[in-house]
Chains A and B, each alone.
Chain A
Amino acid sequence: MPQMNLVQAINDALKTEMRRDPTVLVLGEDVGVNGGVFRVTESLYKEFGPDRSIDTPLSEAGIVGTAIGLALNGLKPVAEIQFDGFLAPAFDQIVSHAARIRWRSRGRFHVPIVIRAPYGGGIRGPELHSESPEAYYAHTPGLKVVIPSNPYDAKGLLIAAIRDPDPVIYLEPKRLYRAFRAEVPEGDYIVPIGKARLAREGAHVTVICWGAMVPVALGAAEKMSAQNVSVEVIDLRTLVPLDVEAVIESVKKTGRVVILHEAPKTCGFGAELAALINDKAFEYLQAPIVRVTGPDVTIPTAQLEDYYLPDVGRCVRGIQKVLSY
């Protein structure tokens, strides 16, 4: 089986689906001739031509708004927004239209689009190149939110997202783009949307995380195992719809929960998870839920970025806190 990094796996997913389904196309800034600023759409232009690998004007609302129109008339656009921070100019088209057209039309129309964007910090980017905006989209009814953490899932989830009849926000942890390689099957397979992955089995504490925080959680679990603490790590993979069963099952087993995310704490997706666990498994909890997250600040640029980002040490500290209650 070929070894791929995250970029190659996403590229392979696009190629696989574009070969299978002639209605799939990609559009965005620099996605054609240049193959994307991170090379995620590398060689699509060569294989599929300018009508399916489309360099658009520099216009995020234009990219998402026309993608909606393309989808209404029978195509399956995969729109790339070049960086997380530039989803904001397209926010209106995403939340006021993509998310609502099925509802607005009572199902006559729907919007099978995927909006891909690299997200998160850790690459020493300039301002608005390191955001973690998943909670905005998870809060908006009508959208699905998918965040892979490894090459295998990235390919399978993207293929599933392209085939999904509803709009999917697909956030790619850019810090992991070239961080490691893993086995990725050739050809067609999906990882279903709405299913979490048990990234590490454990008995004493559950760490719930996604995207770029998964390796952080696994690092913390490894450290804790040296202290004979067995940490279970749940990689959500999909925030909406959430795999509630996987979360609750693990909570019932361990009774202690750390939620780990890179986005700021207040109204982050961790708050929703904590409330949900409160609703569904309160009597199993042996300690208050601990959230290890970015602080409620604008993510710093290069110099102080590491002070913002949750790391293995902070995750370990969270685990110790939930254990010591």
Chain B
Amino acid sequence: MIAKAKLEQEPLVPFVQILGPDGTANPTDIVELGLKPHDFKTLYRWMVAGRLFDERALALQRQGRLGTYAPLLGQEAAQVGSAYALKPEDWLFPSYREHAALAMRGQSWLQLLMYWGGNEEGNRIPEGIRNFMVCVPIATQILHAVGAAWAAKLKGEKSCALVYFGDGATSEGDFHEGLNFAGVFKVPVVFFCQNNQYAISVPRTRQTASQTLAQKAIAYGFEGVQVDGNDVFAVYKVTKEALEKARAGGGPTLIEAVTYRLSHHTTADDWTRYRPAEEVEMWKQKDPIKRLRLYLEKQGLWSEADEAQLIEELKAEIAQAVSQYEALPKRPVEDIFQYMYAEMPWNLKEQLQELKEYLAEHGGDLPKE
């Protein structure tokens, strides 16, 4: 029997960090990553893009131009580092905060704005992109990822699935059922937990008495690893290794990226109600973007001018998406009925007809009160 005191002293899972908060790293670790300066800059670009999109989306919501929105602020490295390790043939299953990861995989800013603006077309993943849609309920997508990865294995394909979820999701039954299936059938899936410390207001310590979330993998018969979720290099490294293991038939891995949600749960939330400002300040010191920028500057790979140019480019790109989003016409009411079944049954046809007749009676749209 392992004494509780021993458990607290000796973590059951490794913790991986490469890039410290001051932007320093062991050169050997960097060489082992197998990334080139071009990759560093790409990672940086996506992290900054995610943050700028986030800022813009939050502002649009505050101005009444976007619906309820879930900010990603502070989680850029966790998302970008992990998504960068995926191959195009791999499947990505998001929860609802992975805007940066979705964009990296080819979904447009416009599409993301459409989704958060209440237009379901924003969830129409373009053909050829193996992203799944935003998943609003907690942890349910974990089982879908397991199933998709399992299908790949049964079909003899080399693709994997990576699924994002948060610390709160580890309390849901579907998390445990998903990990259990994946362990039993040795499914090529990577469970990527962004432990951002809060499920809305409830802190990580209220989700589980376990010392780490990653150690839950041990009970399901596979490896768990904790990683500094604000260190994009470490996140990339552990995700890449987990995917390589999965591809080689080694089965699943649970990654716990230790990070922090610097903003609200969603725009309907107010974090000042449940956590001290000092705590948030402390985490701002571990900012993932600042950390990578310091590293790039130390390596002579980044300058003030580069930064200014990047921000200008990205702001223009996002501004264009906002203009397109706001210029979109409203979708036709047929959309409500069209996607329930492959073939529309008689009752939906009848109800659509009834709605159209009502609208026609009022000049083609809902009556103005």
Interface residues of A (CB under 8 A from B): 25, 51, 56-57, 59, 61-62, 64-75, 92-93, 96-97, 101-110, 141-142, 144, 164-166, 194, 240-242, 244
Chain A residue with the shortest CB-CB distance to B174? A61
For the complex, is B143 an interface residue (Cβ under 8 Å from A)?
yes
Can you show 22 pairs from A to B with CB atoms below 8 A apart?
A: A51-B154, A57-B180, A57-B181, A59-B180, A62-B177, A65-B178, A68-B144, A69-B146, A69-B151, A69-B161, A71-B147, A72-B151, A73-B152, A73-B155, A74-B151, A93-B140, A104-B120, A107-B338, A109-B125, A109-B133, A194-B345, A242-B347
Q: Map CB proximity to A onto B331-360 as digits: 1 under 8 Å, 0 otherwise.
A: 000000011111001110000000000000
Within 8 A of A (CB), among B131-179: 132-133, 137, 140, 142-152, 154-155, 161, 173-174, 177-178
When chains A and B are docked, how far (Å) is the Cα of A96 from the Cα of B137? 8
B132 touches A72 (CB 8 A): yes
Residue among B133, B143, B174, B342 facing the most chain A CB atoms (10 A cut-off) = B143
Q: How many A-B residue pairs have CB under 8 A?
A: 133
Within 8 A of A (CB), among B66-92: 91
When chains A and B are docked, how far (Å) is the Cα of A109 from the Cα of B173? 25
When chains A and B are docked, how far (Å) is the Cα of A69 from the Cα of B178? 11
B342 touches A69 (CB 8 A): no
A104 touches B177 (CB 8 A): no
For the complex, is B32 an interface residue (Cβ under 8 Å from A)?
no
Question: Which chain A residues border B146 with CB–CB below 8 Å?
Answer: 65-66, 69
A97 touches B149 (CB 8 A): no
Contact partner, A61, options B150, B152, B173, Cβ 8 Å: B173
A68 touches B341 (CB 8 A): no
Within 8 A of A (CB), among B35-78: none
B132 touches A109 (CB 8 A): yes
For the complex, is B127 an interface residue (Cβ under 8 Å from A)?
yes
A75 touches B151 (CB 8 A): yes
A70 in contact with B147 given A51-B154, A105-B133, A242-B347 (CB within 8 Å): yes
Chain B residue with the shortest CB-CB distance to A54? B185
For the complex, is B124 an interface residue (Cβ under 8 Å from A)?
yes
A65 in contact with B144 given A105-B123, A109-B132 (CB within 8 Å): yes
Residue among A25, A97, A164 facing the most chain B CB atoms (10 A cut-off) = A97
B144 touches A69 (CB 8 A): yes
Question: Which chain B residues border A142 with CB–CB below 8 Å?
Answer: 340-341
Chain B residue with the shortest CB-CB distance to A105? B133
A241 touches B120 (CB 8 A): no
Question: Which chain A residues border B145 with CB–CB below 8 Å?
Answer: 69
Chain B residue with the shortest CB-CB distance to A89? B173
Interface residues of B (CB under 8 A from A): 91, 120-121, 123-125, 127, 132-133, 137, 140, 142-152, 154-155, 161, 173-174, 177-178, 180-181, 184, 338-342, 345-347
Residue among A65, A69, A244 facing the most chain B CB atoms (10 A cut-off) = A69
Contact partner, A241, options B124, B144, B339, B345, Cβ 8 Å: B345
When chains A and B are docked, how far (Å) is the Cα of A109 from the Cα of B132? 9
In the A-B complex, the 4 residue pairs with the closest CB atoms? A69-B147, A65-B143, A73-B151, A62-B177
What 6 new A-B contacts, CB under 8 Å, besides A61-B143, A73-B152, A241-B341? A69-B145, A72-B147, A74-B155, A92-B174, A110-B342, A142-B340
A66 in contact with B143 given A73-B148, A108-B124, A142-B341 (CB within 8 Å): yes
A102 touches B345 (CB 8 A): no
Question: Which chain A residues border B127 with CB–CB below 8 Å?
Answer: 108
A165 touches B148 (CB 8 A): no
When chains A and B are docked, how far (Å) is the Cα of A271 from the Cα of B48? 57
Q: What is the CB-to-nearest-CB distance from B96 to chain A, in angstroms, rounded to a whole number?
A: 12
Q: What is the CB-to-nearest-CB distance from A284 to chain B, in angstroms, rounded to a whole number?
A: 19
B147 touches A105 (CB 8 A): no
Question: Which chain B residues border A92 with CB–CB below 8 Å?
Answer: 137, 140, 174
When chains A and B are docked, how far (Å) is the Cα of A280 from the Cα of B124? 37
B339 touches A102 (CB 8 A): yes
Question: Which chain A residues border B137 with CB–CB below 8 Å?
Answer: 92, 96
A72 touches B148 (CB 8 A): yes
Residue among A92, A104, A109, A244 facing the most chain B CB atoms (10 A cut-off) = A104
When chains A and B are docked, how far (Å) is the Cα of A59 from the Cα of B142? 14
Contact partner, B150, options A57, A70, A105, A242, Cβ 8 Å: A70
B341 touches A108 (CB 8 A): no
When chains A and B are docked, how far (Å) is the Cα of A286 from the Cα of B341? 36
When chains A and B are docked, how far (Å) is the Cα of A102 from the Cα of B152? 21
B148 touches A69 (CB 8 A): yes
A65 in contact with B149 given A51-B154, A93-B140, A142-B340 (CB within 8 Å): no
Question: Which chain A residues border B173 with CB–CB below 8 Å?
Answer: 61
A105 touches B184 (CB 8 A): no
Q: What is the CB-to-nearest-CB distance from B5 to chain A, in angstroms, rounded to a whole number?
A: 33
When chains A and B are docked, how far (Å) is the Cα of A66 from the Cα of B124? 22
When chains A and B are docked, how far (Å) is the Cα of A59 from the Cα of B152? 21
Q: What is the CB-to-nearest-CB distance from A13 to chain B, in angstroms, rounded to a whole number?
A: 21
Question: Which chain B residues border A164 with CB–CB below 8 Å?
Answer: 342
B346 touches A241 (CB 8 A): yes
Chain B residue with the shortest CB-CB distance to A72? B148
A62 touches B151 (CB 8 A): no
Contact partner, A106, options B142, B151, B339, Cβ 8 Å: B339
Residue among B120, B137, B342 facing the most chain A CB atoms (10 A cut-off) = B342
Q: What is the CB-to-nearest-CB distance from A310 to chain B, in angstroms, rounded to a whole number?
A: 26
When chains A and B are docked, how far (Å) is the Cα of A96 from the Cα of B144? 12
A70 touches B148 (CB 8 A): yes
When chains A and B are docked, how far (Å) is the Cα of A70 from the Cα of B177? 15
Question: Which chain B residues border A244 with CB–CB below 8 Å?
Answer: 346-347
Q: What is the CB-to-nearest-CB distance from A135 to chain B, in angstroms, rounded to a whole number?
A: 15
